[in-house]
A = this chain, B = another copy of it.
Amino acid sequence: MNLNFASDNVGPAAPEILAALVEANSASAMPYGKDPFTTRAQDMIRDTFEAPEASVHLISTGSAANALALAALANPWDAIFCHHEAHIEVDECGAAQFYSGGAKLRRVPGANGKITPDTLGAALAEIPPQNVHSVQRGPVSLTQLTELGTAYSRAELSDLTAMAKDAGLKVHLDGARFANAVAAAGCSPADMTWRLGVDALSFGGTKNGCLGVEAVVFFDPEHAWELSLRRKRAGHLWSKGRFLGAQIAAYLEDGLWLSLAGAANARMAELCAGLADLPEAKIVAEPAGNLVFLTLPKPVHDRAFSAGAAYYSYDTDPEGAPDRPVRARIVCDWSKTSADVAGLLALWRG
C-alpha cells in the first residue's frame, strides 16, 4: 500500500511513458530538438488543442515553463497579476522575476485560490495606465487547477480574460494540473484555453505521469523565435531533446494524459466520499481534481503519520490545545489505488 500523498510528484512515471523513453533510446537522433520525437510531440499538442499555428516549446520543469512564458509576455517594468497563493508568487523563488528581467508580481486576493473580477479590477485600478512613476500593467496569470485544488469554471475564466483583454493585457495559464482540470470539466482543451482568451499555457506533464516535461504553448506564434532563444539562453534546450518529445508524445497518445488525470481525480473523489463518516475532518475548499486541503484534529493526523502516511501538514498553532486542527494537503497522483485511499482513510479513522 502506498500512503505517500505528499505531491503529484511522488508518484512514478506511467509505464507507457517510460516505455516511450526506452523506445526513443533505440536509435540515434539529431540533437537540440531536431529529432522526430520532438516534432511529433509538437504536432500532437497542436492537434490536441486544435491550434495548428501554435508555437510549442518543450521544457523540463513547470517553473521554467511559467517563467519562460511570462518573460515573453511581460516587459521588465511590468506587473504580472496573479493570485496571492499562485505557484509563481509563492513557490518558484522569483523565477518570473529572473526570466523577465525584474517584472513585479502583483498579488491579487480571492477565496478558494481564485482571482475574481472584483479583485482583479481592484488590482488593475491600482496601476493607472501612462503613469511613468509606476510599473505598468502586464499579463494576467491564472492557475488551473488552482493551488487550492479548486477550478475556475469556464465562465469565470472568460470573465477574467475579458477583463484582461479590455485592458489590453495578455493572459497566461499555469496548467501544471491542466489535465486534471480538463478531465474534470469534460471539455476540450481548446475550450479551456484559446477559445476563452488564453494566450499562453504552461501545459503540465511532470505531475501527471511524466518523468519531467512540460510544454510552453503560445496560441499565437509571434513569440516563437523569441521563446526558442529565451529557452536556449536559460539552459533549457535539451541536447537529447528526443527524451522530452517521447514523453509528451506518449502522454497524449490515445488520451493517456486524460486517463491518468481522470484516475487521480477519481481517487480524490473516493477520498472525499470517505470523509463523510469522519466529521472532524473538514474540507477547506471543495476539490475539483486531485488535490485537497483539509483540517484534521491533531491526534487524527498524528495517528496517520505514526503509521507511515505522508502528506504536507501545517500545525498553525504549535502551542495550541492537544486536539487543535492541523492543516493538511492531500494529493492523489495518477498511480494511487482505491486501496491506497482506503488505507489513508482507515488510518485517520483509527
Residues in chain A within 8 A of chain B (CB atoms): 2, 4, 6-7, 9-13, 18, 21-22, 25-32, 59-68, 75-77, 90-95, 97-105, 132-136, 206-207, 211-212, 226, 228-230, 232-240, 243, 310
| Choice from B75, B92, B232 contacting A92 with Cβ under 8 Å | B232
State A9–B133 Cα separation when bound (angstroms).
15
Query: Main SS of the interface on chain A?
Result: loop
State A199–B88 Cα separation when bound (angstroms).
31
State A238–B234 Cα separation when bound (angstroms).
15
The answer to whether A94 touches B67 (Cβ under 8 A) is: no
Say how many copies of this protein the assembly contains.
Answer: 4
| Choice from B28, B132, B235 contacting A234 with Cβ under 8 Å | B235
Q: Given the interface contacts A63-B237, A65-B235, does A10 sit within 8 Å of B25 by beta carbon?
A: no
The answer to whether A135 touches B94 (Cβ under 8 A) is: yes
The answer to whether A93 touches B133 (Cβ under 8 A) is: yes
State A66–B243 Cα separation when bound (angstroms).
22
Question: Within 8 Å CB of A10, what residues of B?
Answer: 28-31
| Choice from B9, B21, B100, B206 contacting A21 with Cβ under 8 Å | B21
State A132–B238 Cα separation when bound (angstroms).
12
| Choice from B11, B29, B98, B229 contacting A93 with Cβ under 8 Å | B229
Question: Can you list 6 A-B pairs, Cβ within 8 angstroms, ordered by A?
Answer: A18-B21, A60-B60, A91-B133, A94-B102, A136-B229, A212-B239
Question: Within 8 Å CB of A233, what residues of B?
Answer: 76-77, 92-95, 98
Question: Within 8 Å CB of A9, what residues of B?
Answer: 31-32, 239-240
Least CB distance from A212 to B in Å reads 5
Least CB distance from A98 to B in Å reads 5
The answer to whether B239 touches A206 (Cβ under 8 A) is: yes
Question: Within 8 Å CB of A230, what residues of B?
Answer: 77
| Choice from B4, B28, B75, B97 contacting A102 with Cβ under 8 Å | B97
State A238–B76 Cα separation when bound (angstroms).
21
The answer to whether B27 touches A6 (Cβ under 8 A) is: no
Least CB distance from A319 to B in Å reads 14
The answer to whether B102 touches A98 (Cβ under 8 A) is: yes
Query: Besides the contacts A76-B97, A93-B229, what 16 more A-B pairs have beta carbons closer than 8 Å?
Result: A11-B28, A18-B21, A21-B211, A30-B310, A32-B132, A59-B235, A62-B239, A67-B235, A93-B134, A94-B233, A97-B102, A97-B103, A101-B101, A132-B232, A211-B240, A212-B240
